[in-house]
Structure 1
Amino acid sequence: MRTNNPVLSRPDAFTPANQQGYPQGFQANAYYNPQQGGYAPGQPQDTFNRQPEAPVQAAGRMTIDDVIAKTAMLLLIVVAAAGVTMMLLPIQLLTPVAIVGSLVAVVTVWIVSARRTVSVPGIFAYAVIEGVVIGAFSKLFEFLYPGIVLQAVLGTIVAAFVVLGAYRYLGARVRGRLSQIVVVSMIAYLIVSLINLALLFFGVNLGWATIGPEAGPIAWLAAGLGVVLAAASLLMDFDAIERGVRMGAPESESWRGAFGLTVTLIWLYTNILRILSFFRD
C-alpha cells in the first residue's frame, strides 16, 4: 500500500504481513491447523458437530491500539522535553534554540522518513528534539501572551478530534490527485519558510512568520494554510494507518504510523499557537 504522506511515504511502508517474513502460507484470515502443522486459509472443518476453532491472531502485526499507544508515548516524550525546556531555558536563548532546533527536527524527519526500515531510536530522537523546540516556542509565546499555550493545546486537541470525526463518520479522505496537491503544497510551504528564515538573517522580513496582533495578510495566509495542510495530512495519516492494519502490516510499522501522527499534531499545534497570537494584545 502506497501513501502520499511525506512522513509515511516509503514505497514499502505498511507492506502486507506475508511479504515481511511470516510463515509460508500465512494469510490475513489464516487459521493454524495443528494436524497439518501449519497455517491454512479459511475456516477449519467442523467435524463431529464441534465448534470451529477460533482464529489465531498472528503475533507481530500492526494494530490500531499499537499505533495509539506509541503515539501517546511519543507525545509524552515531547511534552516532557518541552516542560524541562520551559523550566530551564533562559529567555535570552529561546529564539536561537527554537530556530536551530527546528532545522535539526526537519533534518531528523527527513532521515527517519527516508529509511527503508523503521528507526525507533531516530523516532525517539525526533521526539526529544521536537520537545525542546516546542518548549522554546511555547515559553516565548507564553512570555508574550500569558495563557496562550493552554488555549493552543486545547485547540489542537479539539481540531484533531474534529478531523478524526470527519474521517470516521463523514468519510473525509485525501486521496489521488488531491493528495498530490497537498504534498506539493506542504513541500512548497517548507521551502518558503526556509527562504523566509534565511532572509531574516539579512534583515529582510517577508511577514511569513510574523506573530502577534501586528501580523499582516501574509502571516494570516501562512498560519491558515498551515492549519489546513496539517488537517489534510492528519486525514492522510488516518487513512494510511487504517489500510496498513487492514493489510496486515508488521508490528514495527506501528512506529511509522505513530511518527507520522506526532509530526502532524505538532505542526498543527504550532500553527494554532500563531493564529491565537494574532488576537492577543
Structure 2
Amino acid sequence: MKSSNPVLGRLSAAAQQPTYTVPGAAAQPYSYGGRTYQQPAGYGYPETVQTARDVMTIDDVVVKTVSLIGAAVAAAAVTWIVVPPPAMGAVWIAAMLIGLVLGLVISFAQVTNPVVLFAYAIVEGVFLGAVSKAFETRWNGIVAQAVIATLSVFLIMAMLYKARIVRATPKFMKVVIGAAAGLAVVMLVNFAISLFTGSAGPLRDGGGIAIIFSLICIVVAALMFVVTFQQIEDGIAAGLPRKYGWLGAFGILVELVWLYLEILRLISYFQED
C-alpha cells in the first residue's frame, strides 16, 4: 500500500533545481535534461557535477538497491524463523504501520541518510516475513510462486524499458504516478474500514472485484518501475549528488514490496477452497 511514492516525483524535481558554478575551470560541455551545453569559459561544471565521485551513477544505484533489498530479505527470514505463529498478526500490523510512517517521512522529506533507509528496509522485511509466513501456513508453496512472479515482472519491465518499448513520457509518468497515488488512498481507506468492521470488504474478499482490483494494482506497480527507471536516469544525466541514489533504491524497494503483496493476494484468491 506504499506504492504511491512521492519521492519519485521529487527526485526528478530535484534534477531541475538550479545549480551554481565556480570560476577557474576550462570550458567543457556537460549534459543536462537530455541535452548537451557548452560551459562558458572561465567557469566550471555545475556544483552538482564537479566531482565524479560525488554524483549518481547507475552502478551506485544498483549497489544501494541490492543492499536495501538484502536487508529486507534478511529481516523477513529472521521474522519467519523467530516470531511464533500466534504473534504474527500483531507483528504484521505493527510493522506495516511503522513502515508506512517511515516511508512517508522518507518520501516527503527526501531523506537520504542510509541509517534511516536501512531502518525502513528492515521494518519492511519484518512486515513481509510476517505476511509471508501467514500466507504460507495456509497455502503451501504460495510464497515461492509470488517471489518468482515478482522477480519476473521486474525483469520484464527492466527489459522493456531498456529496449525503449515502454517509454516514460511526461504524460505517461503523470498518469501512472496519479494512478498509484489514487490506489494508495483507496487501500488506506479500505484498511481503515476493515479495522472497524472486521471485514476485508469487496476489494480484499477474494471475489471478482478483489481480483480485478489486484490486477489493476499489479499493472500500476509494474509501470511504476518504468517511472522510477526514468527518474533515476534523469537524475544521473543531471548530475545529482550521489546521495540521491538512495532515493532511487528506496523507490524500487517500495514498488517491489507492493508488487509482491498484490501478487501474493491474487494467487491466494485462486487457491481458496
TM range (shorter): 0.7 to 0.9
Query: Does the CA-based 8 Å contact 2:21-2:43 persist in structure 1?
Result: no
Aligned residues: 255
Residue of structure 1 equivalent to 2:266: 275
State whether structure 2 residue 19 is matched by structure 1 residue 19.
Answer: yes
Which runs of structure 2 are paired with 1:141-152 in the superposition (5 Å)?
141-152=135-146
What is the RMSD of the two structures over their aligned residues, measured on CA atoms?
3.0
What are the superposed Cα offsets for residues 36-60 of structure 1, whole Å, 9 maximum, x if unpaired? x99589xxxxxxxxxxxxxx97221
Quick one: structure 1 residues 28 and 264, their matched pair in 2 at CA, closer, same or farther if it must change by over 3 Å? farther
TM-score, scaled to structure 2: 0.83
More helix per residue: 2
Query: Does the CA-based 8 Å contact 1:105-1:129 persist in structure 2?
Result: yes
Query: Does the CA-based 8 Å contact 1:209-1:219 persist in structure 2?
Result: yes
Query: Does the CA-based 8 Å contact 1:15-1:250 persist in structure 2?
Result: no
TM-score, scaled to structure 1: 0.80
Q: Compare 267-276 and 193-202 and name the one that shifted more.
A: 193-202
Quick one: structure 1 residues 83 and 110, their matched pair in 2 at CA, closer, same or farther if it must change by over 3 Å? same
State whether structure 2 residue 51 is matched by structure 1 residue 60.
Answer: no
Gap runs ≥5 in structure 2? 32-41
State whether structure 2 residue 90 is matched by structure 1 residue 99.
Answer: no
- Displacement after TM superposition at 1:133 (Å): 0.4
**Aligned equivalents of 2:67, 2:20: Cα separation in 1:** 25
Quick one: structure 1 residues 201 and 256, their matched pair in 2 at CA, closer, same or farther if it must change by over 3 Å? closer
Residue of structure 2 equivalent to 1:206: 201
**Aligned equivalents of 1:192, 1:40: Cα separation in 2:** 45
What are the superposed Cα offsets for residues 214-271 of structure 1, whole Å, 9 maximum, x if unpaired? x101211221111111111100000001111122111111111111111111111111
Larger Rg: 1 or 2?
A: 1
Gap runs ≥5 in structure 1? 31-36, 42-55
Residue of structure 1 equivalent to 2:226: 235
Match of 1:182 among 176, 198, 202: 176
What is the percentage of aligned positions where both structures have the same residue?
34
Query: Which amino acid is 2:254 matched to?
Result: V
**Aligned equivalents of 2:200, 2:57: Cα separation in 1:** 46
Query: Which amino acid is 1:207 matched to?
Result: P
Q: Compare 68-77 and 100-109 and name the one that shifted more.
A: 100-109
**Aligned equivalents of 2:45, 2:57: Cα separation in 1:** 22
